[in-house]
Amino acid sequence: MSFNPQRIVITGVGLTAPNGNTLSEFRRNLLDGVGGIEKREIRYMGELLAGVCHYDALKYQTKKEIRVGTRAGSISIYCAREAVADSGIDFAGLPKDRAGIYIGTTEHGNVETENEVYAISKFGYDTKFWSHYHNPRTVANNPAGEVSLNLGVTGPAYTIGAACAAGNMGLIHAAQMLRLGEVDFAICGGVSESIHTFGIFAGFKSQNALASHPDPLKASRPFDKARNGIVISEGGALYTLERLDDAVARGAKIYGEIAGYCVNSDASDYVLPNPGRQAECVRRALASAGLRPRDIHIVNTHATATPLGDIQECQALGGVFTDCPDTHINNTKSFIGHCMGAAGALELAGNLPSFDDLTVHPTINVDHLDPQCALPGLVLNEPKKAARVDTILNNSFGMLGINSTLIVKRFAP
């Protein structure tokens, strides 16, 4: 049987989230309503709420490697190794110059710079105490570079800065490189170490966009009338992508097929989203996949639980998904907070098992639905069985107006 070389499929998944360190654990907690937000001490700011990952960093790294490297690099290595193992590929026999690493991230280097400045403040700001590892820790390509070093990959390895659209962008870019024939095997997705920098907490607090709640597990409340902001989280989800013919030739398990995507920009504001451009991004992704809105069975929203942002995304989606009785809409941030550069990749992972179990995980913590967010098809507080799940549409939007929409469909020969 001959396949179109343009068809790209997902063959492996590796992740760490605030509520799970494997896809099966993550999925089980999403269906059981188990979140992962906790209290965390943030330098200069005291105790705040955050999504913290508790993976085994020493599973694939030595203590020295962890000390020399970065948190983002460590998360990336863990997720990449897990994805490669899950793919079942003979990685030792794979030509390493034909493998590529494409990791989306929100920002990189802030953690290390803040830590170094804080450290030398204890010594009168004498720069002789500044770490000689600082430069390789803070260069933008660090997370992908650390994976390259750990896995011995000699093909292209770099990060993609796309704010909170970065997780989707990692997959989109990898699919494009496979289609161009630049690589034969791609490790891709998104990671975030954001909870380790006080600057991002301070920034959201100054915007009155930082969530608060007496119960940490209730703090992330997309679509709820009482939502009051973002819960900042760390995490990562990396995938292995291959051309379909290569995956079939080696008998790989296939999670799904990349069906379509779009990336565009609002060009209208530093922070505020533009629902018109978001809707345009969704429509163009549908067109690239050759699908109609009613052909989509799950829409995973970007909604971060900011009062205005949720409404604007719902406006965008409401203008696209009209008369779509089989379309279900959910949100993963209600469980894990906003994992920034990892958000889109983790949220896709949480929905991929729906192809097998025909169950849509809910948005939790919605006690009083905001009427301006009351989209038809919202799945709230309890999982919902679906008659069919053949397509998943994943939205991720970011600051400075970058939007990404990725569509994955059930694999069919």
Q: Would you say 17 and 244 are in contact if contact means Cβ atoms under 8 Å apart?
A: no
164 tagged catalytic: yes
Nearest CA to 224 out of 300, 331, 322 is that of: 331
The Cα 89–Cα 187 span in angstroms is: 12
Angle separating helix axes 110-121 and 198-206, nearest 10 degrees: 110
- Integer-rounded Cα radius of gyration of the chain: 20
**Residues 145, 157: Cα–Cα separation, whole Å:** 6
The one-character DSSP state at 319 is H
Count of beta carbons in the 10 Å neighbourhood of residue 269: 11
Any catalytic annotation for residue 213? no
Active-site choice (196, 302, 328, 361): 302
What is the chain's length? 413
Q: Which of 108, 213, 328, 338 is catalytic?
A: 338
Query: What type of residue sits at position 4?
Result: N
324 SS3 class: coil
Nearest 5°: phi and psi at 284? -70, -35
Number of C-beta neighbours around residue 39 at 10 A = 13
Q: Alpha helices, DSSP H only, in 301-369?
A: 307-320, 333-336, 343-351, 354-357
Task: Give me the catalytic one of 53, 79, 108, 164.
Answer: 164
Please identify every residue annotated as catalytic: 164, 302, 338
